[in-house]
Structure 1
Amino acid sequence: MTMSKTFTGGLLAAAMVAGAAFADPSLWHIEDEDSDIYIFGTVHILRPELEWQTDEMMSAFESADTVYFEAPVNDPAEAANLQQVLMANALNPAGTTLSSLVSAEAWRQIETFAPRIGVSAAQLEPLRPWLATIQLGVGFIIISGYDPQSGVEATLWPLAREAGKTLAYFETVEEQIGFFANLPTEIETALLEETVADFEAAPDQLDTLVAAWAAGDQAMIDDVMNAQMRQDAPEVHDIIIVQRNHRWADQIEDILDGSGTVFIAVGSGHLPGDEGVISLLRQRDITVSGP
């Protein structure tokens, strides 16, 4: 998914983060007379050497009775269901190939790049564009030195389970996959074309995002994750980001009406900006401490 142009400052920050291998991501706090809610923006895949579990964040996490994630994708009990839902939405209609949907230039880029992640372009031919986007994107991230098992959710989910915390989710696996699988064909195709173009045009974008996240730079996170998508793919941005942000803000308001200590871990791109979760909560006159 396109993530905006790379800025020199962001690249310098990325280099600093890579050298220091230490991060201090933002943490937000909401409280009333019987509730404490902590909100932590995540990055789903990180470099293994990056230390991001700060004392402040871990203290908030350990104090929580309930931990919310986006969806139960890290739950081994959901693995079979996840695979079933993926396969039900994975393939193009009979007679339709991936190469017939994308531009000639995009297919050339796919043919060039696919072998670098251990697959051939021919193996991608049956896949719908949204799934090819994810497979190529995750493959690109992994060969860039990132590890899915080092991501925030992959780390915190088992810690929460082992500590006996209540695990809760804003969405189901079916809903998460549906956000992509239900896109109109022309939009999911454009998403794939933009993604493979980014591999050549801005290979350091993920480093820039992680640097911004590590520094707690919400403006940069919003720019890297949202600004270009808002401009180039407004339909995708509305479905993948904005609509979900509004639903999550509703749910967080409901959580605040209850009691107890809750830790919320959701993708960092959902939190900053005028239509980010934090702003939406503040627009409801909820006091949110943090950046």
Structure 2
Amino acid sequence: MARRMIVILLAAFSLLTAPAWAVERGALFKVTGHDHTMYLFGTIHVGLPEFFPLDESVTRALAASSTLALEIDPTEQSTELTAAVQRVAATTPAIVAAMPPALGPRLTRHLEAVGAPATLPTKVKPWMLVMTLAVVEYAKLGYRPDLGVDAHLAKLAHGQNIKVIGLETVESQLDVFDHLSAADQWTILDETLESMDSGESKDDVRALTDGWARADQAALDALALKFENDQRLSSQIMQRRLLTERNGPMADKLDGLLTREKTTMAAVGLMHLIGKDSVPNCLRAKGLKVERMY
């Protein structure tokens, strides 16, 4: 997970020309099939105030849609998410005992640097430590979870009485991490710390967020290729678990939504929309027409 977790922790109708202040961000696709239309927009789960308002083409697409599909609805999941994380993230003596001895001092140094207790590894699983450090890494660069793009879209949809559905559940997202072996979790954490120490993690965060902010297709495609070719265990595991294994089921649900409803919008994490095993490619494999608009 290393840099991927840090990067990842992280629809349009062009009926009118957008005004000069509107800025294209992320990646936008038009999906057609079953005589229906869906606009597919790539989000990041953290943000900056200057990311808003979104490009008018995106807000027009939302306003014209009967349903907004998100990974989960962040405006309604806070209580559920907190309870689920507390339950699932609690570690066990066996996992604690499996921590490589050489990792301990470096992990303690990182935790103390962010104001977290050195005893945290005895309370939560390694994957939760990675998520905690990922949030801090984003925060150091000024990115705020409360300004996540998916949360912004969910609030807009609820305000317009547009139905919001989740393509996944809190439990299924936590299972992505929780079903990893203890050894793999510690390896992922170890490589995360290495990337933080080298500055690589911050470079990757900036590459993703800057690419999203500029809708820079070439930069985003290059970033996806870099991750796909990274041979470190953490990257290979999380490429498969975080993206590939989720993209197929996500595409199945989007195809079902496209079949049922005439005009819809879906907004998922940007990394799901780029790379060889992306959601758009999964939809193309189903015979749907998928056009990248930007």
Taking structure 1 as the reference length, the TM-score comes to 0.84
Number of the residue aligned with 1:2? 2
Structure 2: gaps (5+ residues): 5-20
1:79-228 matched pairs, under 5 angstroms: 79-94=78-93, 97=96, 100-201=97-198, 202=200, 203-216=202-215, 217=217, 218-223=220-225, 226-228=228-230
Superposed displacement of residue 123, structure 1 = 3.0
Give the aligned CA root-mean-square deviation in angstroms: 2.5
Taking structure 2 as the reference length, the TM-score comes to 0.83
Aligned residues: 272
Superposed displacement of residue 235, structure 1 = 3.3
Change beyond 3 A, Cα 1:234–1:52: farther
> Does structure 2 conserve the Cα–Cα contact (< 8 Å) formed by 1:45 and 1:148?
yes
Superposed displacement of residue 214, structure 1 = 2.5
Number of the residue aligned with 1:236? 238
Number of the residue aligned with 2:28? 27
1:266 to 265, 268, 272: 268
| AA aligned opposite 1:271 | L
> Does structure 2 conserve the Cα–Cα contact (< 8 Å) formed by 1:69 and 1:153?
yes
| Residues in 2 aligned to 1:70 and 1:64: alpha-carbon distance in whole angstroms | 17
Change beyond 3 A, Cα 1:3–1:131: closer
> Does structure 2 conserve the Cα–Cα contact (< 8 Å) formed by 1:221 and 1:269?
no
Superposed displacement of residue 22, structure 1 = 5.9
Q: Which moved more, 1:273-282 or 1:226-235?
A: 226-235
Structure 1: gaps (5+ residues): 5-19
Superposed displacement of residue 37, structure 1 = 0.3
Q: Which moved more, 1:211-220 or 1:240-249?
A: 211-220
Number of the residue aligned with 1:280? 282
> Does structure 1 conserve the Cα–Cα contact (< 8 Å) formed by 2:188 and 2:234?
no
| Residues in 1 aligned to 2:37 and 2:79: alpha-carbon distance in whole angstroms | 34
Change beyond 3 A, Cα 1:121–1:59: same
| AA aligned opposite 1:266 | V
Secondary structure in structure 1 of the residue aligned to 2:50:
coil
Secondary structure in structure 1 of the residue aligned to 2:230:
helix
Change beyond 3 A, Cα 1:289–1:88: same
| Residues in 2 aligned to 1:134 and 1:158: alpha-carbon distance in whole angstroms | 25
Number of the residue aligned with 2:60? 59
Number of the residue aligned with 2:17? none
Superposed displacement of residue 139, structure 1 = 1.7
Give CA deviations for 1:120-175 in whole Å, capped at 9, x if unaligned.
Answer: 22234321111111111112211221110111112111111111110111111111
Identity of aligned residues (%): 23
Change beyond 3 A, Cα 1:137–1:285: same
